[in-house]
Amino acid sequence: MLKEYSITGMSCAACSASVERAVRKLSGVEACSVNLATERLFVRSGEDLSDAVIAAVTKVGFGASPVESAKLQTKLDEERRAKKLKADKRRLIVALVFAALLMYAAMAHMLPFLPCPVSPEKPVPYALSQLALLIPIVIVGRGFYARGIKALVKLHPNMDSLIAVGTIASFGYSLYLTVMILMGRHAAAHNGLYYDSAGMIIALVMLGKYLEARAKRKTGEAVAALMRLAPETATVIMKDGTEKEVGVAELVVGDLIRIRPGGSFPVDGVITEGMTSADESMLTGESMPVEKEPGSEVTGGSINLNGSVVMKALLTGDDTKLAGMIRMVEEAQGSKAPIADTADKISAVFVPVVGLIAIAAFTVWMLVGAGFETALKTGVSVLVVACPCALGLATPTALIVGMGRGANMGVFIKNGEALQSACAINRIVLDKTGTLTTGHPAVERVVSSCGETEFIALFASCEAPSEHPLARAVTEYADKLGVPYRPASGFEAVTGMGLTAEVGGKTYYAGDSRLMDKYGVEYDRGVYESLMSEGYTVIMLADEEKCLGMAGVADPIKRGAAEVVSKLNSMGIKTSLVTGDNESAAGKIAKEAGIDEVVSRALPEDKLKYIAACRERGEATAMVGDGVNDAAALASADTGIAIGSGAEAALAGAGIVLTGERLDGITDSILLSRATLRVIKQNLFWAFCYNCLGIPIAAGLLFAITGDPNLLLSPMLGALMMSLSSVTVLSNALRLRIIKLK
> CA–CA separation, 698 vs 354, rounded Å?
11
Of 683, 677, 695, the closest CA to residue 725 belongs to 683
Residues facing 271 on adjacent strands: 311
Per-residue pLDDT of 568-597, as tens digits, reads 999 999 999 998 877 888 888 899 999 989
Grade residue 339 by pLDDT with cuts at 50, 70 and 90: very low
Of 92, 113, 91, 114, the closest CA to residue 104 belongs to 114
Q: Are 640 and 653 in contact (CB under 8 A)?
A: yes
Q: What single letter denotes the amino acid at residue 304?
A: N
> CA–CA separation, 405 vs 420, rounded Å?
15
Does the pLDDT at position 253 exceed 70?
yes
> CA–CA separation, 701 vs 699, rounded Å?
6
- Give the CA count within 13 Å in the CB-facing half-sphere of 448: 19
Q: Are 393 and 730 in contact (CB under 8 A)?
A: yes
Q: What one-character DSSP code corresponds to residue 712?
A: S
Does the pLDDT at position 335 exceed 50?
no
> CA–CA separation, 523 vs 294, rounded Å?
28
Q: Are 233 and 248 in contact (CB under 8 A)?
A: yes
Distances 412 to 42, 210, 300, 406 between C-alpha atoms, Å: 29, 19, 31, 6
Of 642, 651, 655, 628, the closest CA to residue 226 belongs to 628
> CA–CA separation, 80 vs 519, rounded Å?
62
Domain residue ranges in the chain: 2-68, 72-219, 231-319, 408-438+558-671, 442-554
The CATH architecture assigned to 231-319 reads Distorted Sandwich (2.70)
Of 66, 38, 29, the closest CA to residue 329 belongs to 38
Tell me if domain 231-319 and domain 442-554 are identical in fold: no
Handedness of CA 328, 332, 333, 335 (dihedral sign): positive
The side-by-side arrangement of strands in the sheet containing 656-658 is: 411-413, 656-658, 639-643, 621-625, 427-430, 574-578, 597-599
Distances 242 to 239, 304, 311, 362 between C-alpha atoms, Å: 7, 22, 15, 85
Range in 217-231, 327-341, 487-501 the model is least confident about = 327-341
CA of residue 465 relative to chain centroid, distance:
42
Q: Check residues 70 and 412 and name the one with the higher pLDDT.
A: 412
CA of residue 405 relative to chain centroid, distance:
18
Active site residues: 431
Of 568, 571, 29, 632, the closest CA to residue 326 belongs to 632
Ramachandran category for residue 713: left, alpha or beta (phi over 0 → left; psi -120 to 50 → alpha) = beta
For 606, residues 6+ apart whose C-beta sits below 8 A from its C-beta are 578, 599
Helix, strand, coil percentages (3-state) for the chain, rounded to 5, are 55, 20, 25
Handedness of CA 557, 560, 562, 567 (dihedral sign): negative
Does the pLDDT at position 195 exceed 70?
yes
Residues facing 551 on adjacent strands: 446, 539
Range in 2-11, 362-371, 521-530 the model is least confident about = 2-11
Does the pLDDT at position 652 exceed 80?
no
Range in 185-199, 205-219, 391-405, 561-575 the model is least confident about = 205-219
Average pLDDT over all residues of the chain: 81
Report phi then psi at 314, rounded to 5: -110, -35
Does the pLDDT at position 511 exceed 80?
yes
Q: Are 404 and 356 in contact (CB under 8 A)?
A: no
Annotate 96-147 with three-state secondary structure. Answer: HHHHHHHHHHHHHHHCCCCCCCCCCCCHHHHHHHHHHHHHHHHHHCHHHHHH
Does the pLDDT at position 340 exceed 50?
no
Superfamily for 408-438+558-671? HAD superfamily/HAD-like (3.40.50.1000)
Given this structure, which CATH class describes domain 2-68? alpha beta
Does the pLDDT at position 543 exceed 70?
yes
Does the pLDDT at position 386 exceed 50?
yes
Of 263, 259, 262, 235, the closest CA to residue 248 belongs to 235
Superfamily for 442-554? Calcium-transporting ATPase, cytoplasmic domain N (3.40.1110.10)
Does the pLDDT at position 295 exceed 80?
yes
Of 37, 33, 35, the closest CA to residue 2 belongs to 33
Q: What single letter denotes the amino acid at residue 449?
A: S
For 238, residues 6+ apart whose C-beta sits below 8 A from its C-beta are 244
Does the pLDDT at position 181 exceed 80?
yes
pLDDT at 110: 74
Strand 411-413, strand 656-658: pairing: antiparallel
First-to-last C-alpha distance (Å) of the chain: 48
Across 239-243, 337-341, 454-458, 695-699, the highest mean pLDDT is recorded for: 454-458
Ramachandran category for residue 317: left, alpha or beta (phi over 0 → left; psi -120 to 50 → alpha) = left
DSSP per residue over 52-74, as a string?
HHHHHHHHTT-EEEE-S-HHHHH
Percentage of the chain beyond pLDDT 70 is: 82
pLDDT at 239: 87
The side-by-side arrangement of strands in the sheet containing 276-279 is: 290-292, 276-279, 303-304
Range in 109-113, 219-223, 371-375 the model is least confident about = 219-223
Q: What one-character DSSP code corresponds to residue 224?
A: H
DSSP per residue over 360-387, as a string?
HHHHHHHHTT--HHHHHHHHHHHHHHT-
**Secondary structure of residue 198 in the 3-state scheme:** helix
What's the whole-number mean pLDDT along residues 199-216?
71
Does the pLDDT at position 472 exceed 80?
yes
Question: In sequence order, what E strands does 433-497 have?
Answer: 442-448, 489-494
Q: Are 698 and 714 in contact (CB under 8 A)?
A: no
Grade residue 454 by pLDDT with cuts at 50, 70 and 90: very high
Strand 537-543, strand 547-554: pairing: antiparallel
> CA–CA separation, 7 vs 72, rounded Å?
15
Does the pLDDT at position 337 exceed 50?
no
